[in-house]
Structure 1
Amino acid sequence: MLNISDNNPVKIENGTGYETIKVLNNRPHYKILNRIIVFVCVICFAGLFLPWTQNIRGTGSVTTLKPDQRPQTIHSAIAGRIEKWYVQEGDFVNKGDTIVFISEIKEEYFDPNLVENTKQQVDAKKMAKESYDNKVVALESQMQSLNTELGLKLEQGRNKIKQAQLKVKSDSMDLAAVNTQLTIAKTQFDRAVTLNREGLKPLTDVEEKRLKLQEAEAKIITQENKLLGSKNELINARVEINRIRAEYTEKISKAGSDKYTALSSLYDTEAQVTKLENQYVNYSIRNGLYYIKAPQSGYINKALLSGIGETIKEGTSVVSIMPAGYDIAVETYVDPIDLPLIRKGSKIRVWFDGWPTIVFSGWPGMSYGTFGGRVVAIENFISPNGKYRVLVSPDKDEQDWPEQLSIGAGAQTIALLDNVPVWYEIWRNLNGFPPNYYSAQTDKTASSKDNQKK
């Protein structure tokens, strides 16, 4: 039977009388556990009102503050063949120390006396330039002499013209006097003929007057010839001046043409001298590029090439070097949503991989092994990892960073923001709200203090 009816003949006895049931009902540690649970709940509830420092976490690595202090690779400026190594990995080199020597592989630079030969070409062209300079000066002197001589010749010709003009004038006056004498002789002859007819003059007087008349006629012809000769001399003097002008103009033009030809050669030689000097300097500098030297003092990290006789091109990386002196910094990456909350000068807490650390992000004062830093640069363009890069330098007002840190070591950062209760921080994270920007409150406090002082 299932004994499901009300008329159940089975009797259930009271178990309190048994010793086992008494022991189970009497457990004092249950009360202690209940008290502990209540106490923990009270502590947790009170903890919700504790102050919590909001923060922005980021990850990054150790780097240097200045770009010229970061690890770099040394390149070959020219193509060549490796002939000798002067360093090995791990060596310390000073600025200017030779790292590797390479030889020439381009046929236009094979001549071992290329620099000296180019120097001789430069000197020869400079001497040619000086010769053209002297030629230009000589032609200028020649042109000046021709101009002076032309002036004297023209003055001499003008004097001849004046002399010819005066001679023409004198001959004209002589011709006029001869004409007067002819007129007088003719008048006397006519009078003598008339008087001879009247018997007043003898025939001898008539013959004498006829002779004088003939002499006067002969003189006038001679004087006319003389006058024409003077006029011809005047014309010749004027023609001579034109000839002198034409002759010396031709000479001066030829000298000027020679001068400009010399100037053209001079300028061409100057261009060649400049080009050769440029080649000479380039060859001299190229000779110095056969020795690849350290740009700054540091340690040789890794040789990127190996062996002897290996051919390299221009711009080939030879070795990587780590500068000896550098200012340490940390580059960390933050999410885009947190970027507006960070500015230059913001305080950052940093701890490094391999360095003993105990971090309480909400209570930075209780953390151990963290170091202070300040933001010195914020990248305005997003990085390939989808975050923004922030550069942090040591805070001078706090403990110095460890000297044992090496470039490239991992680092973690916390940017400290506003102080809020724990319950508010939990509520903010549950709702996905951004942290509070503490600088606004700080600015208001500072402005209120300034107003009180005023």
Structure 2
Amino acid sequence: MLNISNNKKARLETLQHFEAIRQLSNRPHYKILNRIILGLCLLGLLILFLPWTQNISGTGAVTTLKPNQRPQTIHTAIAGRIEKWHVQEGDYVEKGDTILFISEIKEDYFDPNLVTNTKQQVDAKKNAVKSYGNKVQSLESQMSALSSEQRLKIQQANNKIRQAVLKVKSDSMDLEAVKTQLKIATTQFDRAVQLNKEGLKPLTDVEEKRLKLQDAQAKILTQENKLLAARNDLINAEVEIGRITAEYNEKIAKSNSDKFTALSSQFDTEAQLNKLENQYVNYSIRNGMYYIKAPQSGYINRALQSGIGETVKEGAPVVSIMPASYEIAVETYVRPIDLPLLKKGDEIRVWFDGWPTIVFSGWPGMSYGTFGGRIVAIENFISPNGKYRVLIAPDKKDAPWPKQLSIGAGAQTIALLETVPVWFEVWRTLNGFPPNYYQATQKKETAKGE
């Protein structure tokens, strides 16, 4: 049967004879507890109205400000076999100090006199180029001499032509004179014959005139032969000019052909010389690559290759070195939603692992052990961890960073933004809203108002 009676007081009274029940029923502590809870609620409500500085937090590590000051790995430019180590881990080396010596393993470079032999080949090719140059100059001189000789020969032939022309004119005039004499002799002979028939001249005069006529006729034949010979000499002189021109043109063309052949050989030899000089320089530089030297002053961190006689490939890492002098910085990573709020030159608070810090991100005035920094670079490409990289340098207006910091040490960063109530920051965080985007604009307007 169910007990549905409303008489509960009677049951409580029946329990009063128990000591534990009597003590519990008379305790006043619940009033104090209620007061404590009420006080905590009021305190929490007051805290919600306290000022809170919005901030962008990030996690990173200590690095160097300049890329050439960061730890680097030294690689071999050529393949070789390790012959001797000149340093050990932890040693300090100056720029140019020898770290490691390797020997050659490629058969193309086994010859110990390779550089000397290549130098001799280069010198031989230089002499060949010089000889071809001298040959070209000799051929040019020969061509100049042939041209001068051709010019003189043509002048000589032209003189002969002028002489032949004058001789033709002279013989032509002599022929005309002989013809005139023939006419006179013929007239005298005819007159003598006529007078002899009339009995006015003796026969001896006729015979004498006949002899003169025959002599004039003979002179005409002789003079005609002389004129023909003079004309032949003129033709021969004109032909001689063509022969001289053709002969010397052929000689000059042959010399010019020899010149271009020598030039072609000279250019080919110069190309071979350039190739040999390139090989000589490459061999000389390769000889210097057997000694792996320190690119800058620093400390040997770690030997990445070990032993003697071990072979290494081209570009293989050999040893890592840490520069002796460097300017420290901090690289931190921020969320993509916070990236638009940052710009170059913004102030950043940094604290390092190993230094005592009590950090209140929303109350920077109560924080301890943080150091000032300024943004010097912001990466525009997202990193593999899904965040953006920001580089921070020490703030010269703030306290200097610890000298005991080592590269790679952990660091935390905070970028301070607007000051808002705590309840607003809680509401913003719960809703996933970003901090105030208009911080820089508000600061500028405030500065103008002042």
TM-score, with length taken from structure 2 = 0.93
Q: In the TM superposition, what is the alpha-carbon distance from 1:40 to its structure 2 partner?
A: 3.5
> Which residue number corresponds to residue 60 of structure 1?
60
Q: In the TM superposition, what is the alpha-carbon distance from 1:425 to its structure 2 partner?
A: 1.0
1:128 aligned onto 2:128:
yes
> One-letter code of the match for 1:289?
M
TM alignment of 1:233-252, pairs within 5 A: 233-252=233-252
> One-letter code of the match for 2:143?
M
Query: Do 2:417 and 2:439's aligned partners in 1 also have CA atoms closer than 8 Å?
Result: no
- CA 1:357 to 1:37, structure 2 compared with 1: closer, same or farther past 3 Å? same
The size of the alignment, in residue pairs, is 449
Secondary structure class of the residue paired with 1:133: helix
Q: In the TM superposition, what is the alpha-carbon distance from 1:35 to its structure 2 partner?
A: 4.8
**Deviation sequence 1:334-376 (CA, Å, 0-9, x none):** 2222222222222222112222111111111211111112222
Q: In the TM superposition, what is the alpha-carbon distance from 1:43 to its structure 2 partner?
A: 2.8
> Which residue number corresponds to residue 430 of structure 1?
430
TM-score, with length taken from structure 1 = 0.92
**Deviation sequence 1:189-236 (CA, Å, 0-9, x none):** 111111111111000000100110110111111111111111111111
Query: Do 2:82 and 2:311's aligned partners in 1 also have CA atoms closer than 8 Å?
Result: yes
1:112 aligned onto 2:112:
yes
> Which residue number corresponds to residue 444 of structure 1?
442
1:87 aligned onto 2:76:
no
Query: Do 2:303 and 2:319's aligned partners in 1 also have CA atoms closer than 8 Å?
Result: yes
TM alignment of 1:214-233, pairs within 5 A: 214-233=214-233
1:296 aligned onto 2:315:
no
Q: In the TM superposition, what is the alpha-carbon distance from 1:447 to its structure 2 partner?
A: 3.3
> Which residue number corresponds to residue 379 of structure 2?
379
> Which residue number corresponds to residue 211 of structure 1?
211
CA RMSD, 1 decimal:
2.8
1:265 aligned onto 2:265:
yes
**Deviation sequence 1:286-312 (CA, Å, 0-9, x none):** 000000011111111111111011111
Question: Structure 2 CA distance, aligned partners of 1:29 and 1:75?
Answer: 77
Question: Structure 1 CA distance, aligned partners of 2:419 and 2:274?
Answer: 71
> Which residue number corresponds to residue 331 of structure 2?
331
> One-letter code of the match for 2:189?
F
- CA 1:26 to 1:167, structure 2 compared with 1: closer, same or farther past 3 Å? same
Q: In the TM superposition, what is the alpha-carbon distance from 1:29 to its structure 2 partner?
A: 6.7
Q: In the TM superposition, what is the alpha-carbon distance from 1:22 to its structure 2 partner?
A: 9.7
Question: Structure 2 CA distance, aligned partners of 1:275 and 1:19?
Answer: 114
Q: In the TM superposition, what is the alpha-carbon distance from 1:432 to its structure 2 partner?
A: 2.1
> Which residue number corresponds to residue 415 of structure 1?
415
Q: In the TM superposition, what is the alpha-carbon distance from 1:395 to its structure 2 partner?
A: 1.5
- CA 1:4 to 1:135, structure 2 compared with 1: closer, same or farther past 3 Å? closer
- CA 1:375 to 1:13, structure 2 compared with 1: closer, same or farther past 3 Å? closer
Q: Percent of aligned positions with the same letter in both sequences?
A: 75
Q: In the TM superposition, what is the alpha-carbon distance from 1:379 to its structure 2 partner?
A: 1.5
- CA 1:53 to 1:184, structure 2 compared with 1: closer, same or farther past 3 Å? same
- CA 1:308 to 1:20, structure 2 compared with 1: closer, same or farther past 3 Å? closer
- CA 1:19 to 1:286, structure 2 compared with 1: closer, same or farther past 3 Å? closer
> Which residue number corresponds to residue 148 of structure 2?
148
Query: Do 2:115 and 2:283's aligned partners in 1 also have CA atoms closer than 8 Å?
Result: yes
**Deviation sequence 1:358-416 (CA, Å, 0-9, x none):** 11111112111111122221221111111111111112221111111111111111221
> One-letter code of the match for 1:279?
Q
Q: Which runs of 5+ in 1 are unaligned?
A: none
Question: Structure 2 CA distance, aligned partners of 1:6 and 1:236?
Answer: 168
> One-letter code of the match for 1:208?
E
**Deviation sequence 1:11-37 (CA, Å, 0-9, x none):** 998999x99999878878766655544
> Which residue number corresponds to residue 192 of structure 1?
192
Secondary structure class of the residue paired with 1:237: helix
> Which residue number corresponds to residue 255 of structure 1?
255
Question: Structure 2 CA distance, aligned partners of 1:171 and 1:283?
Answer: 84
> One-letter code of the match for 1:446?
K
**Deviation sequence 1:55-101 (CA, Å, 0-9, x none):** 12211111111111111110000011110000111111111111100
> Which residue number corresponds to residue 277 of structure 1?
277
Question: Structure 2 CA distance, aligned partners of 1:361 and 1:350?
Answer: 11
- CA 1:223 to 1:441, structure 2 compared with 1: closer, same or farther past 3 Å? same
**Deviation sequence 1:87-130 (CA, Å, 0-9, x none):** 11111111111110001111111111111111111111111111
> One-letter code of the match for 1:355?
W
- CA 1:323 to 1:155, structure 2 compared with 1: closer, same or farther past 3 Å? same
Q: In the TM superposition, what is the alpha-carbon distance from 1:446 to its structure 2 partner?
A: 2.7
TM alignment of 1:174-189, pairs within 5 A: 174-189=174-189
